[in-house]
């Protein structure tokens, strides 16, 4: 969680300072979801992510150097600078991509789950998507097919209350996206997405169910993004209140978990400080790696459009 939080904070600054080009959708506030779910997954298990995908890749084992390099558009990035933030991915880690298309992920995760079943592996595919994305037809088709074919798939809806600048109340007539699960014939579970242990436990049950051939689950995590839809301050629209943000920040998943661990004497304040120090060092090294890396060459443009038989 700390790795995600610190990465996103720095990435946000770099974007607003104009050092990272394009648009970043940052994950600050939602860390418990990616962290709690990914704890159960190996590199062979697959995930599909969203436009807000850095946290998912970090939790799946993404390294800061290649991530920053991608965000900076360098040839050493996870996608050789061709994808950027919105398409960051790494197949070796089972990360089938952030996605610029809202609702782009669930059908792909369903396909990966189909493949897992077809190839008789024990791997599970997890689709992360937002409350807003739950209104795309792609999600419904994927959920129905996953349930019909009893696929090893978990649909994790990160309900942060907004799709861009539109509140959930203004984009769907239900409160719990998980209610929709009944319509597909799969369990629907609602969990506090600010409580990493609760996410961990609920995700554990869903993933176990998927792995053992009992089919998909729709797991809804109630969460909140602290930053604007894009960047940190974003467009500066007043679509939500400072008070609302404060209420959620008071329940910050990282702070709560740290307190809990200290109270349980699992760790100490000092050890937690060391975690931050280590993460900060990684970040510094990652940014330096990115800044020292070359840009792709114009000649690289036409590579990777097709597989022409070379190594990929």
Ligand X SMILES: Cc1ncc(C[n+]2csc(CCOP(=O)(O)OP(=O)(O)O)c2C)c(N)n1
Binding site for another protein (CB under 8 A): 21-23, 73-75, 79, 81-87, 99-103, 132-133, 135-138, 163-166, 170-172, 235, 237, 239, 295-298, 300-302, 305
How far apart are CB 244 and Mg ion at their closest, in Å? 14
Q: Which residue is nearest to Mg ion (CB)?
A: 130
Candidates 74-82, 94-102, 162-170, 284-292; binding stretch for Mg ion (CB under 5 A): 162-170
Find the length of the chain: 312
75 or 214: whose CB is closer to another protein? 75
Count of residues that interact with Mg ion, criterion CB under 5 A: 6
Q: Which does 296 bind (CB under 5 to 8 A by kind): Mg ion, another protein, ligand X, none?
A: another protein
At closest approach, how far in Å is the CB of 117 from ligand X? 27
Tell me which of Mg ion, ligand X, another protein, none is bound by residue 52, counting a contact when its beta carbon lies within the kind-specific cut-off of 5 to 8 angstroms: ligand X
Closest approach of Cβ 87 to another protein, in Å?
Answer: 6
Least distance between Mg ion and beta carbon 279 (Å)? 26
The radius of gyration of the chain's CA atoms, rounded to the nearest angstrom, is 19
Position among 130, 187, 215, 286 found at the interface with Mg ion (CB under 5 A): 130
To 10 degrees, what angle do helices 2-16 and 31-38 make?
140
- Determine the Cα angle at 231 with ends 171 and 173, to 5°: 10
Both ends of the chain: CA-CA distance in Å? 31
Exposure letters 222-231 (e unless 16+ CB within 10 A, then b): bbbbbbbbbb
Among 131, 195, 220, 228, binds Mg ion (CB under 5 A): 131
Q: Which of another protein, Mg ion, ligand X, none is residue 81 near (CB under 5 to 8 Å by kind)?
A: another protein
**What tokens does 73 get?**
């558009």
Contact partner at residue 23 from ligand X, Mg ion, another protein, none, CB < 5 to 8 Å by partner kind: another protein
């Amino acid at each position: 969680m700390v790795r995600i939080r610190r990465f996103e904070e720095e990435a946000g600054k770099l974007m607003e300072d104009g050092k990272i080009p394009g648009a970043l959708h940052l994950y600050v506030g939602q860390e418990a979801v990616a962290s709690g779910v990914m704890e159960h997954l190996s590199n062979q298990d697959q995930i599909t992510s969203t436009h807000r995908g850095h946290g998912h890749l970090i939790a799946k084992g993404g390294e800061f150097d290649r991530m920053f390099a991608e965000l900076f558009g360098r040839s050493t990035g996870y996608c050789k600078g061709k994808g950027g933030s919105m398409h960051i991915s790494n197949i070796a880690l089972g990360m089938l991509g952030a996605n610029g298309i809202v609702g782009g992920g669930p059908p792909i995760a369903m396909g990966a789950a189909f493949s897992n079943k077809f190839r008789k592996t024990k791997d599970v595919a997890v689709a992360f998507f937002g409350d807003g994305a739950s209104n795309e037809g792609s999600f419904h088709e994927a959920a129905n097919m996953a349930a019909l074919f009893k696929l090893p798939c978990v649909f994790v809806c990160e309900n942060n209350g907004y799709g861009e600048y539109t509140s959930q109340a203004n984009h769907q007539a239900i409160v719990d996206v998980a209610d929709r699960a009944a319509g597909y014939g799969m369990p629907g579970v609602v969990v506090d997405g600010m409580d990493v242990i609760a996410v961990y436990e609920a995700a554990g049950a869903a993933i176990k169910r998927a792995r053992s051939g009992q089919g998909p689950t729709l797991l809804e995590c109630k969460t909140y993004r602290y930053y604007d839809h894009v960047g940190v301050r974003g467009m500066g629209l007043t679509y939500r209140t400072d008070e609302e943000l404060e209420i959620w920040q008071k329940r910050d998943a990282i702070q709560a978990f740290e307190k809990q661990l200290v109270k349980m004497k699992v760790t100490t304040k000092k050890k937690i400080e060391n975690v931050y120090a280590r993460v900060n060092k990684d970040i510094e090294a990652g940014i330096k790696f990115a800044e020292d890396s070359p840009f792709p060459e114009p000649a690289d443009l036409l590579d990777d459009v097709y597989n022409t038989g070379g190594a990929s």
